[in-house]
Amino acid sequence: MSNRKQIVVIGGSAAGPKAAARARRLDEYADIIILQKSPDLSMASCGYPYYVGGFFNDRNMLLSTPTGVTRDPEFYFRAKGIIARTETEATAIDRERRTVTCKQLRTGEVDTIPYDKLIIATGATPNRPPISGIDLEGITTLQTMQDTDYLRKIRDEKKVKKAIVIGGGLIGIETCEALHLAGIHITVIELLPQLLSFLDWEMAKLVENHVKSKSANVITQNGVVKFLGENGRLAGVKLQNGTELPCELAVIAVGVTPNVKLAREAGIVIGETSGKLVDEYMQNSDQKIYDVGKRVD
């Protein structure tokens, strides 16, 4: 190996590519490699609900620079000298040898990549509570491009008439708006007494009244206890109070859990709230490894 530093970044959504680009600005000679499990890179997740809702129709806007250049591996290589390997999952970190093992998900090819510095930006996975029937067709989250494509297809096909959004947080409310604009009747179900739990009650009530003014239904202090199916497809939900609501689509938006399996298996210290502990330089318990996009305990 040359004496150029090798910086490996695991995760290629928001935080990973940002960290890689910053590393390039700090060191123009380093070899920088991004390993990204998904097929896409640097996705604009905040725009997903707006694409689903039809605020814009060009899917590529979620994946491109403001000047319209797709942020794909070629872009990263040409513009920043960064190698981005998509559909490549990091499966193990060997801290003693300072290597990352990864697998190309299409070909199954396994590779071991050495690092001088490692940046973990593996993000979070949406929670899917263990409710009976959760694997029925018609139940989704809104977290990935694949979820976004699924919901956008539902919008374009115009077959779904009724949907449930489980969770009245930010993503739940954005999803409610998007599906409402798709002409679908929505019921938002929230366990707590109010939507957007971080707001004062009075503010949350204003939001609730606005949602209801759009003919959406809001049910608070209630939760889904069962998904009801017909021939493998979602047909409705049963609530804690026994009410059954028919629906063809349910979007679960009940928070996320940090992806720490890889780090935990490598012996990196995990904090009390399930994120990795980092210091003020975002280094974790192994000083060769940085973490981004995670909750700091």
Ligand X SMILES: Cc1cc2nc3c(=O)[nH]c(=O)nc-3n(C[C@H](O)[C@H](O)[C@H](O)COP(=O)(O)OP(=O)(O)OC[C@H]3O[C@@H](n4cnc5c(N)ncnc54)[C@H](O)[C@@H]3O)c2cc1C
- Residue range at the interface with ligand X (CB under 6 A); choices 34-42, 62-70, 181-189, 225-233: 34-42
Residue with the shortest CB distance to ligand X: 123
Does 16 help bind ligand X (rule: CB under 6 A)? yes
Quick note: the x/- pattern for ligand X over 249-278, rule CB under 6 A, is ----------x--x----------------
CB contact at 8 A, 128 and 19? no
The Cα 165–Cα 140 span in angstroms is: 10
Does 225 help bind ligand X (rule: CB under 6 A)? no
Residue number with CB closer to ligand X (32 or 121): 121
Does 46 help bind ligand X (rule: CB under 6 A)? yes
CB contact at 8 A, 158 and 46? no
Q: Which of 6, 27, 45, 105 binds ligand X (CB under 6 A)?
A: 45
Does 49 help bind ligand X (rule: CB under 6 A)? yes
| DSSP per residue, 152-218 | HHHHHHT---EEEEE--SHHHHHHHHHHHHTT-EEEEE-SSSSSSTTS-HHHHHHHHHHHHHTT-EE
Does 53 help bind ligand X (rule: CB under 6 A)? no
For the beta carbon of residue 140, count every other beta carbon within 10 angstroms.
21
Minimum Å distance from CB 240 to ligand X?
26
Minimum Å distance from CB 238 to ligand X?
26
Comparing CA positions, the residue from 168, 254, 159 lying closest to residue 211 is 168
Which residues lie below 8 Å from residue 90, measured CB to CB, with a gap of 6+? Answer: 10, 35, 37, 100, 101, 102, 122, 262
- Residue range at the interface with ligand X (CB under 6 A); choices 13-21, 53-61, 178-186, 241-249: 13-21
Contact residues toward ligand X (CB under 6 A) are 10-16, 35-38, 45-46, 48-49, 89-90, 121-124, 142-143, 171, 259, 262, 293
